Chains A and B, each alone.
Chain A
Amino acid sequence: MNFHKLIAAGLALAMVPALAACSGGNDAEAGTVITNVSYDPTRELYQAINPAFAADWKAKTGETVSFRMSHGGSGKQSRSVIDGLDADVVTLALAYDIDVIAERTKRLPAQWQAALPDNSSPYTSTIVFLVRKGNPKGIRDWADLLKPGIQVVTPNPKTSGGARWNFLAAWAYGKKAGGSDAAAEQYVRQLYAQVPVLDSGARGSTTTFAERGIGDVLIAWENEAFLAVNELGEGKFDIVVPSISVLAEPPVAVVTENAKKHGTEAVVQAYLEYLYTPEAQTAIARNYYRPRNPEVAAQFKDQFPELELVTIDSAFGGWTAAQKRFFDDGGVFDRISARK
């Protein structure tokens, strides 16, 4: 019966890719493997830094290192590490997401942020505006976003790390302009009333603004804004730097227990320290993040205009407090979005 042969042949055929895969292996992985769980926009950054560190480490110790990269929304990545994603290091968008890992899993110390210089943040960034070429709506500062008919694109602070920075930057402006928390709340309420789409992540919002052509202004990470200007066709967008914004400090940390288990403690510590070297800081600046190193910062000072920056610690009492007050259920964000 032919049909039986067919089934046998089908099963045999199905085995071919499986066998090929078993024998194939992954050529890219050799020596010590470091798993770096990061957030969305850092792909290009670590593509530049990882090979440079591998070469540096090889020269110093003779050991070969290779990398496994995982990228996703910062909050989602944090959740995955809590659920068992085997990260040696985490490099996320905000300290709160690493605090949660420390608190829930105890796989890194609660004081992880003191382990490296500058609050364990090898670079900073801020929140700026991206507008259509030539700035047809004349947007110069936060006040202009409330003009009638202006559509503002920003992601949902409930799900997106970047969106929380955006919200707090807007709050900082509202508080400075109006002088009180009540005025700040009034400002953000009016602002979010002008948002046509709340995407779940920062990349989603950038796509909404740049690809789908929705909105007059995108509130975005400075590095995302640069990337959109340079990647999505030059001459389509302009960056507008507002008078005041927040100092974003995306932190990095060794997940100590995981590194211990893999026997990678020494190399991952060196990896994170490497981020502070002039070579890595230059790569950081080339990828549009603001470097910490003063010499490198001086070299790139034309790229990053000066503006008044508030920190989360001084203006909002740290991430845990800000999270609770603004973004947890029943917080300020729920209050302002309920009354539409």
Chain B
Amino acid sequence: MNRNPVSESRFARAALITIALLFLALFILLPLFAVFSEALKEGFDDFAEAVSTPDALAAIRLTLIVAAISVPLNMVFGVAASWAITKFDFRGKGFLITLIDLPFSVSPVVSGLIFVLLFGANGYLGPWLAEHDVRIIFAVPGIVLATVFITFPFVARELIPLMMEQGKEDEEAAISLGASGWQTFWHVTLPNIRWALLYGVLLCNARAMGEFGAVSVVSGHIRGITNTMPLHVEILYNEYDFVGAFAVASLLAGLALVTLVIKTVLEWRFNLHHAGARH
């Protein structure tokens, strides 16, 4: 009775693969296909027209701005937080890790309401902001804040387990050889974590562009000003403009696909470059 656990019978293997593929096709490929086919139902001209209306262009621009601000910020925050957590010993570390997870566990609607509570007209800072004519909520800064909050854990959560596993021997060696803190980070830590970092950034970006709940609460839905792409999709759908809604949705899905392709290409190139060069 000496069965090897990795050598299942041929039948079981085939069955498992079929089930996995069927599941993928049914729950991922089919909906994706439906989005694109619905978008192009009335022909490419209608699609092009739907994504080039001023409101759609404004939504696309806003989504890109929000991602362009929140993703680099969270990349820096995430690296700093994971560096601090994994390379240093201090009291309250566990609490800090829990705090980083908070945006994951809180419902996005609540995340949005937090900002209404802070910056709304009746919020803690609202009266002061109104006096100085600073607009946070129902304007672009509020949307960026909510997105940064929601996407904060992605980079840190990818890095912390990896950096914990890697330990701090490499860094200690570098420092004992006379490297400065910055040199250590740039030449030792960063190369070690690059794949996890890249993966975290891509996930962070996907969520930053796709976030609906929290952004919906703080946006105010002013057309052409504070509507991001997901909000614009909902509005078009509610206005019976199904082609328009699916056109913008397919654009959003397209952005996600592009992100995945970039990730794959980068992985492939780097593996080619560094095969043999690294352990």
A109 proximal to B (CB < 8 A): no
Question: Looking at the complex, which of B7-15, B57-65, B81-89 is the stretch in contact with chain A?
Answer: B57-65
User: Which B residues are CB-close (under 8 A) to A80?
Assistant: 138, 220
User: Which A residues are CB-close (under 8 A) to B137?
Assistant: 83-84
A48 proximal to B (CB < 8 A): no
Question: Looking at the complex, which of A68-76, A274-282, A298-306, A307-315 is the stretch in contact with chain B?
Answer: A68-76
Check B121 against A105 for contact (C-beta < 8 Å): yes
Question: Looking at the complex, which of B22-30, B95-103, B170-178, B232-240 is the stretch in contact with chain A?
Answer: B232-240
The one of B71, B121, B187, B266 that contacts A1, using a Cβ cutoff of 8 Å: B187
Q: Which residue of B lies closest to A68 (CB)?
A: B222
* Bound complex: CA A14 to CA B70 (Å): 10
* CB within 8 Å: A-B pair count: 89
Check B135 against A86 for contact (C-beta < 8 Å): yes
A166-212 residues at the B interface, CB under 8 angstroms? 203-204, 207
User: Which B residues are CB-close (under 8 A) to A231?
Assistant: 240
* Bound complex: CA A69 to CA B235 (Å): 12
Given the known A-B contacts A15-B68, A40-B238, A43-B239, are A2 and B273 also in contact in the complex, defined by CB atoms under 8 Å? yes
* Bound complex: CA A82 to CA B165 (Å): 50
Check A72 against B221 for contact (C-beta < 8 Å): yes
Size of interface on B: residues with Cβ below 8 Å to A: 41
* Bound complex: CA A163 to CA B273 (Å): 63
User: Which B residues are CB-close (under 8 A) to A3?
Assistant: 190-191, 194, 270
Given the known A-B contacts A203-B238, A231-B240, A232-B240, are A11 and B121 also in contact in the complex, defined by CB atoms under 8 Å? no
User: Which A residues are CB-close (under 8 A) to B61?
Assistant: 17, 20-21, 24
Check A26 against B224 for contact (C-beta < 8 Å): yes
Check A85 against B240 for contact (C-beta < 8 Å): no
Counting chain A CB atoms within 10 Å of each CB, the highest count among B61, B137, B194, B220 belongs to B220
Check B138 against A85 for contact (C-beta < 8 Å): yes
B159 to chain A, nearest CB (A): 14
A18 proximal to B (CB < 8 A): yes
B96 to chain A, nearest CB (A): 25
Provide a sorted-by-A list of 28 A–B residue pairs whose CB atoms are within 8 angstroms.
Answer: A1-B187, A3-B191, A4-B186, A4-B190, A6-B266, A15-B68, A16-B68, A17-B67, A18-B65, A18-B69, A28-B224, A68-B224, A69-B223, A70-B221, A70-B222, A71-B223, A71-B235, A72-B221, A82-B121, A82-B122, A83-B116, A83-B138, A84-B121, A84-B122, A84-B138, A85-B138, A86-B138, A227-B240
Known: A1-B187, A231-B240. 19 other contacts (CB 8 A): A3-B194, A14-B68, A14-B71, A14-B72, A17-B61, A17-B68, A21-B61, A21-B64, A26-B58, A35-B222, A68-B225, A80-B220, A83-B116, A83-B122, A83-B123, A85-B138, A85-B220, A86-B135, A204-B238
Q: Sort A-B residue pairs by CB-CB distance and give the 9 closest, nearest first.
A: A84-B121, A17-B64, A83-B120, A18-B68, A85-B138, A85-B220, A70-B222, A203-B238, A14-B68
